[in-house]
Amino acid sequence: MADQHPHDHDIVTRPAIAMAGTGCDAEQYAALYRRSLDDSDGFWAEQAKRIDWITAPTRIANWSFDPVDIRWFEDGVLNICHNAVDRHVEAGRGDRTALIFEPDDPSGEVRKISYAQLQREVAIFANTLKKLGVAKGDRVTIYMPMVPEGAFAMLACARIGAIHSVIFGGFSPDAIAGRVEDCRSDWIVTADEGLRGSKRIPLKANVDTACDKVPVKGVLVYRHTGGDVAMQEGRDHWYHELSADVSRDCPCEPMQAEDPLFILYTSGSTGKPKGVLHTTGGYAVWTETTFRYVFDYREDEVFWCTADIGWVTGHSYIVYGPLLNGATALMFEGVPNYPDHDRFWQVVDKHKVNIFYTAPTAIRSLMREGKDYVTRHDLSTLRLLGSVGEPINPEAWRWYYETVGKAKIPVVDTWWQTETGGIMITTLPGAHDMKPGSAGRAFFGIAPQLVDGDGKVLADEATGGSAEGNLCITRSWPGQARTVYGDHDRFVQTYFSTYKGKYFTGDGCRRDDDGYYWITGRVDDVINVSGHRMGTAEVESALVLHPKVAEAAVVGYPHEIKGQGIYCYVTLNAGDEPSEGLEAELRQWVRKEIGPIATPDHIHFTPALPKTRSGKIMRRILRKIAENETGSLGDTSTLADPAIVETLIETRKNR
Ligand code: 6R9
């Protein structure tokens, strides 16, 4: 009872919901959770039965966190595309809508793609990739706008056993080049342009710039806006031309459960982004099962996850999770505030959305515009709301619950990561009361543990009780990432070396007496800006590439809308002077190097950075100054030059 917190008892009783869907009630949760830990193999063998296997697995879990070697269902053979697409058609459900496409322009053409059409489109896409020369095991980079063809491309790769690496359409040419090079991808699938909030995004032009640095064998270009693009003879192909005469039949390649499915780059606390690798069988079981239980899906419902397919949330809950369940998923090309701040709610009514899954940053930015944008819409089809990507502050939670959900429908706050493949901590809509600001309880098979800096166990499911510490997971689950592509040592170092034998999430967390987890944010040098995960080191590397910058230190600070903002301390080379012009230039510079999501909020020029005598930048102090909490700087005795701190406080930006 030592670590009780005032919010622990803010309970919102779950609205009574009839268990008509795929979810479970409180009693079932308790029994299933118990079994998932006590008889893990039995539990997962049973969940895996909802997947169509070419050869059913007999070995279920086979993993070790020391040394790190993770395998699930390893003698099973399957194809995830068959499971997400074909089997629904074979079961006579081909007429059911798989994807609804809502374009950026509200008066543009809506597309409804049935499972039968999806099967045809994916087969054609797969044959087009083959025609280009793509073979099993090849890495295919996908840099697409939010259009169904992005999902077709992913599923087509899965169908033929190629490994997809999707890059968010907001990333820069340099970011593309780095990722293409890292996984040695010979092929890129892109579109002429993307469209967001009526702005055109030059996707193909960005790919061209990337390919000047890192050449590839082939670029497949989907014509979306019809904008002008340059096509390079021999390398670039229009999708509509290359696909025109391919066969409509394409068999699904039998894959071993542990064959790679995709690589997704994500930020860590140091250096360049890591290519997190997910494999086939475990990821299929995990996304199928989490979607099923967390969203309590019912036949014919429309599920809308507002993420981009360039992030893991889009992979798991626009494409794989919903389609594995035979659900109808909405894909939205646009942004929440175009043409106006009620676009989300307009789309909910237009497509009769039942389950809506978005990020706290979107909720906060819409909340700021006032309730009227929400209340002028009916929203009566909504049955469940979800949140993901960052901690949701209780105020935003209440607005979401009361204003959008009319205090009648449950909210699930789902904690998970690129590395976890799917949802790990959440309440289940038919099983649990909610606590605004808490992600909730451990999902089936998940064993969270809170440890202190020395690795001492403070609380877990076995000990119970409340404590705050660093969040580890002590046993593997099917959707866990298996490695960092091409660099298993880095995988081991990053996730399994801080606390030997445990997976360390990088997040701080509190557990309360009711077994609810409250994520407190990252404890490493990773920041979360509008739900986009970014390493401060990435922004620093971009800054020091500028010829006038000598050194840079980047920290996050609380930002009302974005969750965290980007605060950069910059020292210039001798002879270069700070100016407003240079400040603007550096902002542009980072945008260009990484992408618009990394645009610094504040650039603070300083003659020097506070360092220890051994030369380590004291980030703790820089964070405090950026947070405007200069009254509590803590111990500054190890500083080489304490005077610099006074200067920084006087000249700080975020007042
Ligand atoms: C799915 C996704 C992972 C990091 C994670 C944590 C933060 C995600 C959260 C949350 C509090 C939630 N995070 N969901 N924090 N409550 N419901 O976002 O993956 O982009 O890899 O980010 O996001 O800090 O460690 P990813």
Q: What's the pLDDT at 634?
A: 75
| Ligand 1 pocket member 294 (CB < 6 A) | no
Return the residue whose CA atom lies nearest to atom 13 of ligand 1.
390
Is 20 or 468 the better-scoring residue by pLDDT?
468
Beta carbons of 527 and 556 less than 8 angstroms apart? yes
The C-alpha atoms of residue 598 and residue 239 are separated, in whole angstroms, by 31
Q: Is 573 labeled as ligand-binding?
A: no
Length of the chain, in residues: 655
Residue 497, φ and ψ in degrees, nearest 5: -100, -25
The C-alpha atoms of residue 149 and residue 161 are separated, in whole angstroms, by 18
Mutate which of 316, 473, 528 for ligand 1? The one with the most ligand atoms within 8 Å of its CB, which is 528
| Ligand 1 pocket member 439 (CB < 6 A) | yes
Mean pLDDT, residues 380-399: 93
Q: Is 198 labeled as ligand-binding?
A: yes
| Ligand 1 pocket member 393 (CB < 6 A) | no
pTM for this entry: 0.91
Q: How far is the CA of 185 from the centre of ligand 1 (A)?
A: 27
| Ligand 1 pocket member 308 (CB < 6 A) | no
| Ligand 1 pocket member 313 (CB < 6 A) | yes
Q: How far is the CA of 431 from the centre of ligand 1 (A)?
A: 23
Using H for helix, E for strand and C for coil, what is the string for 168-216? CCCCCHHHHHHHHHHCCCCEEEEECCEEECCEEECHHHHHHHHHHHCCC
Beta carbons of 319 and 84 less than 8 angstroms apart? yes
Tens digits of per-residue pLDDT, 198-215? 999 999 999 999 999 999
Q: How far is the CA of 264 from the centre of ligand 1 (A)?
A: 15
Q: What's the pLDDT at 104?
A: 98
Domains 17-510 and 530-651 share a fold: no
Q: Is 64 labeled as ligand-binding?
A: no
Q: How confident is the model at residue 365 (pLDDT cuts 50, 70, 90)?
A: confident
Tens digits of per-residue pLDDT, 331-342? 999 999 999 999
Return the residue whose CA atom lies nearest to atom 18 of ligand 1.
389
Residue 483 pLDDT > 90: yes
Q: Is 544 labeled as ligand-binding?
A: yes
Q: Is 426 labeled as ligand-binding?
A: no
Helix H or strand E segment including 470: strand 467-473
Spatial CA neighbour of 315 closest among 261, 354, 361: 261
Spatial CA neighbour of 118 closest among 356, 353, 319: 319
Q: Is 389 labeled as ligand-binding?
A: yes
Mean pLDDT, residues 534-549: 90
Return the residue whose CA atom lies nearest to atom 4 of ligand 1.
417
Q: Is 114 labeled as ligand-binding?
A: no
Beta carbons of 170 and 311 less than 8 angstroms apart? no
Return the residue whose CA atom lies nearest to atom 16 of ligand 1.
391
Mean pLDDT, residues 440-458: 97
**Domain 530-651, CATH among 2.40.30.10, 3.40.50.300, 3.30.300.30, 3.40.50.720:** 3.30.300.30
| Ligand 1 pocket member 388 (CB < 6 A) | yes
Tens digits of per-residue pLDDT, 574-585? 899 999 999 999
All structural domains of the chain with their residue ranges: 17-510, 530-651
Q: Is 391 labeled as ligand-binding?
A: yes
Q: What's the pLDDT at 522?
A: 84
Residue 17 pLDDT > 80: no
Q: How confident is the model at residue 614 (pLDDT cuts 50, 70, 90)?
A: low
Q: How confident is the model at residue 655 (pLDDT cuts 50, 70, 90)?
A: confident
Mean pLDDT, residues 48-53: 98
Q: How far is the CA of 213 from the centre of ligand 1 (A)?
A: 32
Q: How confident is the model at residue 71 (pLDDT cuts 50, 70, 90)?
A: very high
Return the residue whose CA atom lies nearest to atom 17 of ligand 1.
415
Beta carbons of 167 and 175 less than 8 angstroms apart? yes
Q: Is 56 helix (H, G, I), strand (E, B) or coil?
A: coil
Q: What's the pLDDT at 524?
A: 86
Residue 536 pLDDT > 60: yes
For the chain, how long is the longest CA-to-CA vector?
A: 74
Instruction: Scan for tokens 């074979």, then name that residue.
Output: 90
Beta carbons of 431 and 26 less than 8 angstroms apart? yes
The C-alpha atoms of residue 257 and residue 103 are separated, in whole angstroms, by 36
The C-alpha atoms of residue 400 and residue 371 are separated, in whole angstroms, by 10
Residue 18 pLDDT > 60: no
Q: Is 337 labeled as ligand-binding?
A: yes
| Ligand 1 pocket member 522 (CB < 6 A) | yes
Would you tell me the crossing angle of helices 26-38 and 40-47 to the nearest 10 degrees? Answer: 120
| Ligand 1 pocket member 390 (CB < 6 A) | yes
| Ligand 1 pocket member 168 (CB < 6 A) | no
Mean pLDDT, residues 468-495: 97
Beta carbons of 115 and 92 less than 8 angstroms apart? no
Q: What's the pLDDT at 2?
A: 44
| Ligand 1 pocket member 269 (CB < 6 A) | no
The dihedral sign for the CA sequence 150, 155, 160, 162: positive
For the domain spanning 17-510, the CATH number is: 3.40.50.12780
Q: How far is the CA of 599 from the centre of ligand 1 (A)?
A: 20
Tens digits of per-residue pLDDT, 298-331? 999 999 999 999 999 999 999 999 999 999 999 9
Q: How far is the CA of 371 from the centre of ligand 1 (A)?
A: 27
Strands (E), 91-186: 97-102, 111-114, 139-143, 163-166
Q: What's the pLDDT at 78?
A: 99
| Ligand 1 pocket member 413 (CB < 6 A) | yes
Report the chain's mean pLDDT, rounded to a whole number: 94
Strand partners, 112: 100
Residue 241 pLDDT > 70: yes
Mean pLDDT, residues 52-76: 98
Mutate which of 263, 415, 419, 443 for ligand 1? The one with the most ligand atoms within 8 Å of its CB, which is 415
The C-alpha atoms of residue 392 and residue 437 are separated, in whole angstroms, by 6
Q: What's the pLDDT at 1?
A: 40
| Ligand 1 pocket member 216 (CB < 6 A) | no
Burial letters for 457-476: b for 16+ Cβ neighbours within 10 Å, e otherwise?
A: bbbbbeeeebbbbbbbbbbb
CA 26-12-417 angle, to 5 degrees, is 70
Mean pLDDT, residues 105-124: 98
